[in-house]
Amino acid sequence: MAAKSSRRPYVRRHWSLAQRLDYYTDKSGGPDACWPWTGSPDTCGYGHMRWQGKPRRVTRLLWEDIHGPIPPSLCVCHDCDNPPCCNPAHLFLGTHQANMTDMARKGRVRHGNRRGMNGSKAKLTDDQVREIRALQGTATLEEVGRRYGVSFSTIGMIWRRDTWFHI
C-alpha cells in the first residue's frame, strides 16, 4: 500500500474566493487568535494570491468578500500587527496616514528618522565613525574598511559625509 501524500490537493480553478481563502488560512488557533495565511506571501510578508487574473493582497480580497468594495482612499489594516494574519476580527479600514501613525505609536517604525547607530542595519557606532574620519588621509579606504569590518565604499561615503552626516 502506498504511503499517504502530505501534499495538498490541487486548488481547483472553479473554487470560489471564499473556498480559496478558507483553504489557505490556518484557523487552528481559535476565533481570537491570528489566522496565518499558509499560501504565498508577498515581499512584505502579507498573504498574496492571483484572483481573476490579477495579483492581490489576501486581506483586501477577504475584506471585499465579507464587507464589499473598499473605498480607494482606504487601506486594510491589522490590529494585531501580524502581516500574514487573515482573521477578519483583526482587520479594519483606515487611511494610509492613520496606519502610519498607528505603526509609529506601537514602535514599529523601522527606518525614517533613525540615523547612525540607531538604524536597523548599522554596523558602526558613532565613536567608530569619528575614528574613521580621523584616519582620512593617513590610510587607504581598503585598510580602514578591513579594520572596521565594512566595505571600502562605506568608508568613502563616511569620509565624503554621504552617510553618517549627522556626526
> pLDDT tens for residues 25-51?
999 999 999 999 999 898 888 999 999
Question: What's the pLDDT score for residue 8?
Answer: 60
Residues sharing a CB contact under 8 Å with residue 76, sequence separation 6 or more, in sequence order: 57, 59, 60, 62, 63, 70, 91, 92, 93
Tell the CATH topology of 17-105.
Homing Intron 3 (I-Ppo) Encoded Endonuclease; Chain A (3.90.75)
Question: What's the pLDDT score for residue 107?
Answer: 76
Question: What's the pLDDT score for residue 5?
Answer: 53
The pLDDT tens digits along the chain (167 residues) read 555 555 566 667 788 999 999 999 999 999 999 999 999 898 888 999 999 889 999 999 999 999 999 999 999 999 988 999 999 999 999 999 998 888 888 877 655 555 666 665 678 888 999 999 999 999 999 999 999 999 999 999 999 998 888 78
Ramachandran bin of 27, using left for φ above 0, alpha for ψ from -120 to 50, beta for the remaining angles: alpha
Integer Cα distance of 125 and 117 in angstroms:
5
The answer to whether 58 and 39 have CB atoms below 8 angstroms apart is yes
What distances in angstroms separate CA 57 from CA 21, 126, 136, 146, 150, one per listed residue? 11, 40, 49, 44, 38
- C-beta neighbour count of 59 within 10 angstroms: 25
**Domain ranges for the chain:** 17-105, 116-159
Which residue bears the cell 486581506?
59
- C-beta neighbour count of 37 within 10 angstroms: 24
pTM of structure:
0.60
Which residue bears the cell 574620519?
133
Question: What's the pLDDT score for residue 166?
Answer: 79
The answer to whether 58 and 49 have CB atoms below 8 angstroms apart is yes
Question: What's the pLDDT score for residue 14?
Answer: 82
